Structure 1
Amino acid sequence: MPDQDETLLLNLNEAIATMRDKDSLFKVVTTKLRLIFPFDLIGINVFDAELKTKRLFLRDYYGAEDPQPAVPGSMANFTPIANSPIEQLVADPRVRQLTLQDYMGAYPDYEPFARMRQQDIGQLTAVPLRIGGHLTGFLTLASRRAPNLTPADEKLLEKIGSLIAVAVANTLAFEEVARREQQRTLQLNINNALLSIKQREPLFRAVAEELSRVVPFEYFGIRVQRAEQGEVFQAFAEFSRPAPGAPLEARDPDRDEDEGLRDSESIYRQSTDLLQAAAVYSGPEFKALAVRYPRLRYVYEHYHTRALLVAPIWQRPDGAAVLTLSAAEPDAFQPEDLATVLALVPQIGLALENLFAFEQIEQLKAQVEQERTYLVDEINTSARFGADSGAFIGSGPALQQTLRRIGQVAPTDTTVLISGETGTGKELVARELHNASPRHARALIKLNCAALPAQLIESELFGHEKGAFTGAVERRIGKFELANGGSIFLDEIGELPLDLQAKLLRVLQEREFERLGGTKVLHSDARVIAATNRVLADEVAAGRFRADLYYRLNVFPIELAPLRERREDIEPLLRHFVQRLSKRLGKPVRQVRPADLAALQAYSWPGNIRELEHVLEQAIIVSQGPFLEFAGFAAAPLVAGAAAGASPASAPIKTLREQERDHILAALQRTGGRVSGAQGAALLLDINPKTLEARMKKLGIRRTVGLQS
């Protein structure tokens, strides 16, 4: 029941994608799962990143209205995985059906098992929860009766586990933020206004305004540097007050319009030692610093700055944050001003942490939402191009060679270049490569390089920051970022503009990129599968495609043969499509005459499998008798073309319309212009007389043979 499974996945994902409350999330998951998997108890355990400890997320006994934890207080703490039943699941993380008796011998003192046994629960189904291929927990379904899951059920549970894993992680992230917010509210009531601001510039401006209430200054700056997964994250804020009492104005943190200083000469980059300790520099002391540092010398001369206050917000191995104030008066800052600022530093640090956590959550939220969108697309696409699509129907040598190549490269992370004419099934091969790879639990992200204007492809590939260009009203995650841990399919790669080819080459070589309008270097572990209907070697020779990118893409080529080179597969393809399309269209399954089959096999099929499917769909729609009727439609030239097989190769090729018109005229000529009846052209062409009359009208053919032309 694939449709029901897809509907369940879609409904479940829509229900849990934006859930913030774990009790509501758990209730929805329990309700949805009970629709198809009967169970008496459900539990979710989450693990730490190192898979050393576990935490009971929620447990529900026997369909109780309110989920109850197994042991009071156990939900807040992590406990060791070792020496618990979970260690066996972690050692072999897959969908498993177990009996309670399997566990009781190894863990006789495990109290939850004793409780389940008292309730006659003896069957367990364990489902791994994964995010990006990483194990994050387990979903456990327990029941009194054996579930007798089929392989299809287990595969469905795997997909459900992936959805629940993302929802649980999202819920836990919001739970953690909520805990921090509550703690900050209790400890720092005076900082409520700061904590409520979620945008970077308004928050920094609020911090500056808050400080200005107690310490006068002309300049305010914050610089944050943090190492995150090997990257350097930086946040800047600079404000200046042009006159006493005037509003603060935002400044570019690393450039003034009238200065010639390079970014590398910023005080933040030059004077790490200066900014590590809290201090006030004024008068001659500040003048000495101005001699030493060009940036301070510049503000000394152009802004008449004479005093500097430095207050580190934090200093730790993964980065640092520092606040600086400056003023024109040499005695603007006193030791008590430094003490006041330092007293506010914890508040500022917490406000910063809250801001970055919120930004991260918004990014995760956007990513989850886009992944949900791609999941919906994946479900819809799977419905159209699943195992019954005809992509791998047949037994000819060309198809067998393709299947061998797919089987060889699918388990690896090697870049694959699929080439072939339009309609040969390049996207379906890409889907099969992804589904047969270790990355199948993550999404296959697709981009048609020919379907978008050149100026939008870069944003689609790499994403963009808010304000990066006109219309960029919010940050957008690119497809390489979404495909992290999964696969990205670049269709029609030969259409990619040359300037973007260089950027794509960087991603293939370094696995890193930047969002449009951004400065942060992002990394993506995405397997690249590309496809083209062009001969890229010729494009390289013509200067339209970069040679270095071509060699990066052409690591493992798979070339799809056109249908005219797979004539032995046309008959099984025809039977497959007739069965499937007749069922979908609600039509009886009709046979194909041997002469029509021969004509179909003799046709060149410039549109390949896609064209064959469309021709058959038209024939199924219009056919009335026991056989499929091809005359008068896209397949009509097939019959005429087969009959005229002796035509010289140099003869001009007629259009499909011309071929159809000639074929109908020939039939009318033979029947003396009669359309219907026992001696009519409709019977000769094996087509409904009304249909033939409609085609004649469209093609401008009159009944009287003498007036045909």
Structure 2
Amino acid sequence: MPQSEESLLLYLNEAIATTRSKDKLFQLVTEKLRLIFPFDMIAIITLDSAQRYKRLFMRDYLGEVPYPMPQTVAGMMPVENSPTELFVRDPRVQQIDIRELTADYPDFMPFVLLEQRKVHYLTVVPLRTGGQLIGLLCMAARRAPALLPADLALLEKIGSLVAVAVNNALAFEEIAWREREKSVQLSVTNVLLSSKDRQALFQTVAEEINRIVPLDYFGLRIQRRETATEGFAEFAKQPDGTFAPLEESRWDGVANREQMQRETFGIFSQPLLLTGPDYELAARRYRMLQYTMEKNGTRAMLGVPLWTDDTQAAVLVLASRRPDAFTTADLDLVAGLAPQITLAMRNLFAFEQIEALRAQLEREKTYLLDEINTTAKFEDFIGTSPVMQLVQTRIRQVAPTDTTVLIQGETGTGKELVARALHNLSPRKERALIKLNCAALPAQLIESELFGHEKGAFTGAHDRRIGKFELADGGSIFLDEVGELPLDLQAKLLRVLQEKEFERIGGRRVIRADVRVIAATNRVLEEEVAAGHFRADLYYRLNVFPIRLPALRERTEDIEPLMRHFLERFTKQMGKPVRGLRERDLRALQQYGWPGNVRELEHVLEQAVIVSQGPFLEFQGFAAATQAAPATSDAGGPLKTLREQERDHILAALHRTNGRVSGPNGAAVLLDINPKTLEARMKKLGIRRTVEAGT
């Protein structure tokens, strides 16, 4: 053996024994081989144990940009129907002219690309270890190499040494991969145990997986039964290598998005790997894959199912713009993480649900404490008259259902007490009854009160606000003075009644709420509909089960028991002595028209308990009130018009409050209307403040 050949073999043997870096090792091999065998390209192909698939293990060029190697199955290519099958069947050192094989393999891309560069000649050396063919060393050249029999024998020996190097490198790769796999599994496990914040947790998981499986997209998606899929946690890699969360709103405006997502979700029922041509082929069948390919440049996808049950299914999806991004080893790694990710997601679901319930209960507690301190008690709902017995019968009939109820009656007749009775006698009594007075807020704020708003939705929206409908989920909502709602809000309320869903102002997420609606009004809604002030379709939605509350003047037999009830309560609350009630005072109270109904009676008795000093109750100012608004016209006299009755009603309230319109002790509180509304009605009826105060 010539000295140069012996030196080459010794050098290669020593390099294989001492060099652990794959790239460094084959750089040395390439440099030494070029000294003896001129070539323009060198590549090493490895084979699986069954010699059915091959993988490009290493390649090197002289002064040329390497051509892209097409990948199909996880970085592997089939041996069958490629020139490699010829060399596997006849594993010996061979010299061939590529042009002689193009007729049988016209679509073999490596040969096509080589011929485009005028590289026509190929020398193939089998790589064996322990008698097993593990790969091929391929050297391509523009000029036909003049190899002697001795050169072929030398290449056989070199092939044996390179085979050992390849085998060692593969073993080192496997060990390194297992170490990285364990490292990622440990890191992901630590991350999943360290945080309960959904975005922060899975952003870190994406970063950890990216360390060993480079990716451009990480997504956990859920499909609920009969709905489109939704993102649980999704991130995209940014130019600086970090991962940023993706918003579900990115799908807004995409035609047929829900159908496209549903049809694509089904392909993830089993672990899935789509790379290169396989992804492009799948994109022809599934529109969502085609969309992501065109929109984001996606060329490879890896998916692992997490769980499927009666209500929902979940998958983990990775995607990349590189067509050869993922391998079967990557799929195995990600599938191995699936149980941990599934457990973390279920724990997060439970934690978020508990947090939502805790927050809702806290809001309900705050709301209910406020309601307890500011609203009347149900025991005030007193009356044995026939008309009140009918009301109580209708309450008992409808309370156990979820039917919408419309309570109609004059101000002060006890509409809120009926609403509370309906709620407390219903299956929803364990949850809150949420109240909203539609006349107590400016029109522009009512929508926010009803449906809530997101932070920044409008000027002054510094924080997210939970609306009354969301707060009432599982319970009941009482819409008092519903006849005061503006027409545009009437349409939105109709949608909630019909579809049980809404969005916060400035929000995009549809919120579903299971709420029983109870509405009340002192207006005659049929007249409001006829006048065009109230939507007919909303009226019919609300008026499913009407309950009419009679005015106090229609049930005078209930005045005495109501008086005794209020007297007992106020006497105890204020620590006042029990005082007698003169017969003449009782008759006067029974004969009065009570334009403010039960609420006015309550206020009269509260004031009497406060001001009385002697053995009997004193009703200061009550006579003036009765003169200002008598219950009925004189015998045989003409009936008053509605305008005259309304004017007398307001005057009576103003006498009771010494002319005060607004504030805690004003007539607006007594009449249960907005102060601005009361002032507008006073102006319309010609009632001036100077007159009221001096009357």
TM-score range, shorter chain: 0.5 to 0.7
CA contact (8 A) 2:450 2:468 kept: yes
Q: Which residue of the partner structure matches residue 317 of structure 2?
A: 324
Q: Which amino acid aligns with 1:368?
A: L
Q: Which residue of the partner structure matches residue 241 of structure 1?
A: 237
Question: Any gaps of 5 or more consecutive residues in structure 2?
Answer: 1-184, 659-691
Deviations 1:278-326 (A, max 9, x none): 2332232233234444444444445443332233333455433223333
Superposition deviation, residue 569 in structure 1: 3.2
Q: Which residue of the partner structure matches residue 428 of structure 1?
A: 417
- Correspondences of 1:225-374 after superposition (within 5 Å): 225-227=223-225, 234-243=230-239, 245-253=240-248, 255=250, 261-262=254-255, 264=257, 268-301=261-294, 303-374=296-367
Q: Which residue of the partner structure matches residue 522 of structure 1?
A: 512
Q: Which amino acid aligns with 2:388?
A: L
Q: Which residue of the partner structure matches residue 212 of structure 2?
A: 214
Cα distance in 1 between the residues matched to 2:386 and 2:259: 66
Distance 1:248 1:658, change over 3 A: closer
CA contact (8 A) 1:195 1:354 kept: no
Q: Which residue of the partner structure matches residue 369 of structure 2?
A: 376
Cα distance in 1 between the residues matched to 2:588 and 2:619: 10
Deviations 1:537-566 (A, max 9, x none): 111112222222222322322211222333
Determine whether 1:636 maps to 2:624.
yes
Within the candidate set 588, 598, 614, 1:625 is matched to: 614
- Correspondences of 1:533-682 after superposition (within 5 Å): 533-631=522-620, 633=621, 635-638=623-626, 655=651
Stretch of structure 1 that moved more, 566-575 or 332-341: 566-575
Superposition deviation, residue 420 in structure 1: 0.7
Cα distance in 1 between the residues matched to 2:405 and 2:653: 39
Q: Which residue of the partner structure matches residue 482 of structure 1?
A: 472
Q: Which amino acid aligns with 1:628?
A: L
Superposition deviation, residue 535 in structure 1: 0.8
CA contact (8 A) 1:480 1:488 kept: no
Cα distance in 2 between the residues matched to 1:370 and 1:188: 40
Q: Which residue of the partner structure matches residue 392 of structure 1?
A: 382
Q: Which amino acid aligns with 1:421?
A: E
Q: Secondary structure of 1:274's partner?
A: helix
Q: Which residue of the partner structure matches residue 80 of structure 1?
A: none
Deviations 1:219-266 (A, max 9, x none): 333312244xx87773344333343x5322333456379xx7435178
Superposition deviation, residue 191 in structure 1: 1.6
Deviations 1:642-696 (A, max 9, x none): 799869768987845998999xxxxxxxxxxxxxxxxxxxxxxxxxxxxxxxxxx
CA contact (8 A) 2:237 2:244 kept: yes
Q: Which residue of the partner structure matches residue 191 of structure 1?
A: 189
Q: Which amino acid aligns with 1:358?
A: F
Cα distance in 2 between the residues matched to 1:473 and 1:661: 39
Distance 1:634 1:351, change over 3 A: same
Q: Which residue of the partner structure matches residue 205 of structure 1?
A: 203
Cα distance in 2 between the residues matched to 1:329 and 1:287: 12
Q: Which amino acid aligns with 2:189?
A: N
Cα distance in 2 between the residues matched to 1:210 and 1:621: 73
Aligned-residue identity in percent: 56
Q: Which amino acid aligns with 1:276?
A: S
Q: Which residue of the partner structure matches residue 531 of structure 1?
A: 520
Question: Any gaps of 5 or more consecutive residues in structure 1?
Answer: 1-186, 663-697, 702-709
Deviations 1:33-53 (A, max 9, x none): xxxxxxxxxxxxxxxxxxxxx
Q: Which amino acid aligns with 1:392?
A: I
Cα distance in 2 between the residues matched to 1:452 and 1:610: 21
CA contact (8 A) 1:619 1:628 kept: yes
CA contact (8 A) 2:487 2:533 kept: yes
Determine whether 1:494 maps to 2:483.
yes
Q: Which amino acid aligns with 2:596?
A: G
CA contact (8 A) 2:407 2:548 kept: yes
What's the C-alpha RMSD, in Å, of the aligned pairs? 4.1
Q: Secondary structure of 2:212's partner?
A: coil
Q: Secondary structure of 2:250's partner?
A: coil
Higher Rg: 2
Q: Secondary structure of 1:272's partner?
A: helix
Cα distance in 2 between the residues matched to 1:404 and 1:298: 61
Q: Which amino acid aligns with 2:269?
A: Q
CA contact (8 A) 2:307 2:315 kept: yes
For these two proteins, the number of residue pairs brought into alignment is: 468
Q: Which amino acid aligns with 1:403?
A: Q
Cα distance in 2 between the residues matched to 1:658 and 1:265: 60
Q: Which amino acid aligns with 2:236?
A: S
Cα distance in 1 between the residues matched to 2:594 and 2:399: 29
Superposition deviation, residue 423 in structure 1: 0.7
Superposition deviation, residue 421 in structure 1: 0.8
Q: Which amino acid aligns with 1:622?
A: V
Q: Which residue of the partner structure matches residue 182 of structure 1?
A: none
Cα distance in 1 between the residues matched to 2:543 and 2:210: 60
CA contact (8 A) 1:265 1:295 kept: no
CA contact (8 A) 1:593 1:627 kept: yes
Superposition deviation, residue 426 in structure 1: 1.0
Cα distance in 1 between the residues matched to 2:492 and 2:548: 26
Distance 1:589 1:519, change over 3 A: same
Q: Which residue of the partner structure matches residue 60 of structure 2?
A: none
Stretch of structure 1 that moved more, 554-563 or 395-404: 395-404
CA contact (8 A) 1:512 1:521 kept: yes
Superposition deviation, residue 418 in structure 1: 1.3
Q: Secondary structure of 2:314's partner?
A: strand
